[in-house]
Structure 1
Amino acid sequence: MSSLAKIHIAKSQLGLDDETYRALLARVAGVRSAKELNPRQIGAVLAEFERLGFKPTAAKRSGRAAPKPAVDRKALIGKIEAQLADADRPWAYADAMAKRMFKVERVEWCDSDQLRRLVAALTYNAKRNGRTV
């Protein structure tokens, strides 16, 4: 967020009318408009707004989702092993799935997210073939 945006947010948060706002700018920085402020004056104006009660808030993060907690790889490998045993399939079957799904030669080389997705695929296959999960 730009400094000018912060100044305008502070103005509205404090409920200042245009005349009072411009008087504050003139008193603190000697200007009548926020776009005439240099960086040092912007800091002084923001400090004055904070003295008057402005509470700056952190900008909301957008875009990326919060990272998922790391799942124990050993537990995921155990689930894969159990599903393979239940389906009477060899480890080569899981390796082939990993290669097809993620372009990874062996299940042991998959990361936690890939292992989680492999478990989901095996679960889907078990349900489709009438096996209990």
Structure 2
Amino acid sequence: MANLKAQIHIAKTQLGMDEDTYRAVLKAATGKTSCKDMGVIDLNKALQAFKDRGFKSKPPRKKTTATLTDKLITLWRAMGDEGILRDASDAALRSYVDRQTSGQFKAPQFCDNHTTIKLIEALKQWQKRVQKQANVK
């Protein structure tokens, strides 16, 4: 029900309606002038009235952001490609995670967000140190 109310308010904004026009559309569609007085059926009628006036609801955006675990794995592989790591295998990463977390986590997939962020930051620092040393030589 809250989703329907939100869509109606988005429609009002998208269509650039002033308050009086908005209330008039609600009243014409449902006989009520406020969403808070409406049930699901009335809210659907009101939403349809806005769609009839040109409101286009957009489908929810798909999540495309990588998970923290994906970021950790990507950074590990990048460091391997740069030659920073002797062994850039998944087994080596699991061993690194196990050591860095004192055995609390055996693989990156099992780490909580806080721990994964700490691991990412530690790898970034390691990467910076090596890159800085390479630039000094």
Q: Give the TM-score band, short-chain normalised.
A: 0.5 to 0.7
Q: What is residue 80 of structure 1 aligned with on the other side?
A: 85
Q: What is residue 102 of structure 2 aligned with on the other side?
A: 103
What SS does structure 1 have at the residue aligned with 2:86?
helix
Distance 1:129 1:14, change over 3 A: closer
- CA radius of gyration, larger in: 1
What SS does structure 1 have at the residue aligned with 2:32?
coil
Question: Runs of 5+ in structure 2 lacking a partner?
Answer: 110-115
Q: What is residue 7 of structure 1 aligned with on the other side?
A: 8
Question: Is 1:32 the equivalent of 2:37?
Answer: no
Percentage of identical aligned residues = 23
Describe how 1:20-99 pairs up with structure 2 within 5 A.
Answer: 20-57=21-58, 66-67=65-66, 68=70, 70-71=73-74, 76=80, 79-81=84-86, 99=99
Distance 1:50 1:131, change over 3 A: same
Q: What is residue 124 of structure 1 aligned with on the other side?
A: 129
**Per-residue deviation, 1:11:** 1.5
Amino acid at match of 1:103: S
Give the alignment's Cα RMSD to 1 decimal.
4.7
> Any idea what the Cα deviations from partners look like across 1:61-120, whole Å, max 9, x if unmatched?
9xx9921465497883975217xxxxxxxx9xxx78962x33249xxx554975995586
Number of corresponding residues: 115
Distance 1:30 1:128, change over 3 A: same
Which runs of structure 1 show a deviation greater than 6 angstroms over 4 or more consecutive aligned residues? 72-75, 95-98, 129-132
Determine if contact 2:27/2:33 at 8 Å carries over to the other structure.
Answer: yes
